Amino acid sequence: MSGQRHASETGESTGAPAGPAADEAVARPRGDLTGQGFVLNVFKESPWTSHDAVARVRRILRLRRVGHTGTLDPFATGVLLCCVGRATKLSDALMDLRKEYEGWLRFGVKTTTGDATGEVEREWDLPLPDEDRLRAAAQRFTGEILQVPPMVSALKHEGQRLYRLARQGITVERKARRILVEAFEILAVAGDRVRFRVRCSRGTYVRTLVEDFGAELGAGAHVQELVRTAVGTFRADSAARLVEGMPPEDLLAHAIPMAAAVGHLPAWRVPAFWATKLRRGHTPPWIVLDLEREPVAGEVGRLISAAGELVALGRALPTPGPVDRPWHEALDLKLIRVM
């Protein structure tokens, strides 16, 4: 089996932040962003691990508190969101963003890893189905589906990473997980290779999706190339390239303020007096907030100061009582993260 490390294409982050909070050891050419925290959309190259990319960000910025929000396998390239400083508190909100991938799969060959880095397990002498059959099969893997995570992944079983067990030749039972595949498109065909695009939820394994797609057509399949082209609105064509020897100022030019990084969440604006209290852990009443619209039970919002800074993330939670109450009495504001 290939010695490369594997993890979820869109699974849980294994790039947890390290180091103390007070690690602003670099000049701050963009205001005080390094003190506040910010997000970077960086382009992960092959064959880097996601941790390799985080290590490069740490070296360039000379900051230790950096983490990423969704592992990419070493062979894959594309968008890797890195949270710096206090922005590491935004990891969960950013992990929930939809991911988009483009790549090439090879039909008729199954590998030990589900990608081109693994050893060939089996080959089929079958012609590639026509494009209509390919598209019909892909369509059957859209919507909410159950997916069994692969052995070659960063998930844990009894405290051990599955990929480490797989290297020892050990296979364990894995529970199927519910995922959402919004789109699985066939873009082109060349010989026994198929170019595809997938848009999916957190926790989706594209390698497994491709293997299941091949099985649906009566043969094996594996991913040959994979690019994460987008995470939410963050796209690969605007991602920062981590060049060795890059000046910190060049990377800081790509810094995304925290409020903008979670711009997909509704804005709940806080007056100056309450922003100060909020930073101390006090929850403001709905009535003092300037809202874009009435919140919906269960949704998460950005609590933003008059200066436009992200102060906290909060969730609107339903409270027991009569159904005909005003919405601000029917919902409680629960603080999730104070920045």
What CATH code is assigned to 1-260? 3.30.2350.10
Structure confidence at residue 16 (pLDDT): 40
Interatomic CA distance for residues 217 and 196, integer angstroms? 15
Domain with CATH 3.30.2350.10 in the chain: 1-260
- Of 314, 339, 279, nearest in space to 83 by CA: 339
Structure confidence at residue 265 (pLDDT): 97
Domain with CATH 2.30.130.10 in the chain: 265-338
**Tens-of-pLDDT digits for all 339 residues of the chain?**
333 444 445 443 334 443 333 333 333 334 456 567 999 999 999 999 999 999 999 999 999 999 999 889 999 999 999 999 999 999 999 999 999 999 999 999 999 999 999 999 999 999 999 999 999 999 999 999 999 988 877 778 788 887 787 788 888 889 999 999 999 999 999 999 999 999 999 999 999 999 999 999 999 999 999 999 999 999 999 999 999 899 999 999 999 999 999 999 999 999 999 999 999 999 999 999 999 999 999 999 999 999 999 999 999 999 999 988 999 999 999 999 999
Interatomic CA distance for residues 52 and 4, integer angstroms? 13
The number of C-alpha atoms within 13 Å of 213 and in the hemisphere containing its C-beta is 32
Contacts of residue 158, defined as CB under 8 A and 6 or more positions apart, other chains included, come to none
Structure confidence at residue 7 (pLDDT): 45
What CATH code is assigned to 265-338? 2.30.130.10
Q: Alpha-carbon dihedral of residues 219, 165, 5, 155, nearest 10 degrees? A: 90
Interatomic CA distance for residues 326 and 296, integer angstroms? 13
Enumerate the active-site residues: 73
Structure confidence at residue 93 (pLDDT): 95
Interatomic CA distance for residues 254 and 238, integer angstroms? 9
What's the N-to-C CA distance of the chain in angstroms?
A: 44
Contacts of residue 188, defined as CB under 8 A and 6 or more positions apart, other chains included, come to 194, 195
DSSP 134: H
Structure confidence at residue 163 (pLDDT): 77
Query: What values do phi and psi take at 11, rounded to 5?
Result: -85, -160
Looking only at the bridges linking them, the beta strands covering 240-241 and 38-44 are parallel
The model's pTM:
0.87
The answer to whether 12 and 92 are in contact (CB under 8 A) is no
Helix or strand run (H / E) with residue 53: helix 50-61
Buried-state track 254-281, b at ≥16 Cβ within 10 A, e below 16:
bbbbbbebbeebbbbbbeeebbeebeee
Structure confidence at residue 34 (pLDDT): 58
